[in-house]
Chains A and B, each alone.
Chain A
Amino acid sequence: MKHLLSIADLSRADIERVMTVAESFAEVVERDIKKVPTLRGRTVVNLFYEASTRTSSSFELAAKRLSADVVAVRSTGSSVDKGESLRDTIATLSAYDPAAIVIRAPWAGAADLVARQTSASVVNAGDGKHEHPSQALLDVYTLRRRLGSLDGASIWIVGDVLHSRVARSNIHAFTRMGAKVTVCGPPTLIPRGIESLGCEVRYDLDDVSAADVVYALRMQNERMGESNSFVPSLREYISCYQIDSRRLNPRQFLMHPGPVNRGVELSAEVIESPQALIVEQVAAGLVVRMAILYELLTSSGRDGGPVGVPTPTVEQPA
Chain B
Amino acid sequence: MSAQRFPRLRLCARSGEPATLLVRGARLLDPRSGMDGANDLLIRDGVIAAIGPPGSLDTPEGAEVVEGEGQVVLPGFVDPHVHLRTPGREDEEDLESGSRAAAAGGFCRILAMPNTDPVVDAASVLRSLQERASSEAVIPVGFLAGITKGLRGKELTEMVELAREGAAGFSDDGYPVVDAQRMRQALQYQRLAGGVLALHEEDPALSGNGAMHEGAISMVLGLDGIPSISETTMIERDAEIARYEDGAIHVLHVSAAESVPAIERARAAGVRITAEVTPHHLVLTDEAVTSLDSRFKMNPPLRSQADREALIEGLRSGAIDCVATDHAPHSREEKEAPFEEAPMGVTGLETAFAVLYSDLVLPGVVALDLLVERMTAGGGPYGLRPPTLEKGAPADLCLVDLDARWTVGEAGYESRSDNSCFAGRELQGRVLMTLAAGSVAYRERGFAIRLADDPGVHARGSA
Contacts and interface: CB of A to CB of B under 8 A. Distances in A.
B53 interface: no
A110 B220 CA distance: 15
Interface string A62-106: 000000000000000000000001110000000000000000011
A306 interface: no
A107 B220 contact: no
Given A86-B338, A87-B336, A127-B338, A108 B221 contact: yes
Given A130-B222, A130-B223, A192 B338 contact: no
B215 interface: yes
Contacts, number: 75
A39 B340 CA distance: 34
B338 A168 contact: no
A194 interface: yes
Contacts of B341: 107
A129 interface: yes
Nearest to A197: B220
Interface residues of B, number: 24
Contacts of B215: 192-193
A129 B209 CA distance: 13
B216 interface: yes
A186 interface: no
B338 A107 contact: yes
A112 B292 contact: yes
Given A113-B292, A130-B222, A193-B216, A105 B208 contact: no
A131 B222 contact: yes
Contacts of B293: 112
B44 to A, nearest CB: 53
Contacts of A128: 222-223, 338, 340
A85 B294 CA distance: 15
Contact of B219 (A85, A109, A165, A196): A196
Interface string A268-303: 000000000000000000000000000000000000
A225 interface: yes
Nearest to A114: B338
A108 B222 contact: yes
B170 interface: no
A107 B221 CA distance: 11
A8 interface: yes
B221 A85 contact: no
Contacts of B221: 108-109, 130
B338 A85 contact: no
Contacts of A105: 338
A112 B223 contact: no
B173 interface: no
**Ranked 9 nearest A-B pairs via Cβ:** A129-B222, A109-B339, A109-B292, A107-B338, A107-B340, A130-B222, A110-B338, A112-B292, A191-B219
23 contacts: A85-B333, A87-B333, A87-B336, A107-B337, A107-B338, A107-B341, A108-B340, A109-B338, A112-B292, A112-B338, A112-B339, A113-B292, A113-B336, A113-B337, A113-B339, A128-B223, A128-B340, A131-B222, A168-B222, A192-B215, A192-B219, A193-B215, A225-B208
Interface of A: 8, 85-87, 105-110, 112-113, 127-131, 165, 168, 191-194, 196-197, 225
Interface of B: 208-209, 211, 214-216, 219-225, 291-294, 333, 336-341
Given A107-B337, A107-B340, A109-B292, 13 more contacts: A85-B333, A85-B336, A108-B222, A108-B340, A109-B294, A109-B339, A110-B338, A110-B340, A112-B338, A112-B339, A130-B223, A196-B216, A197-B220
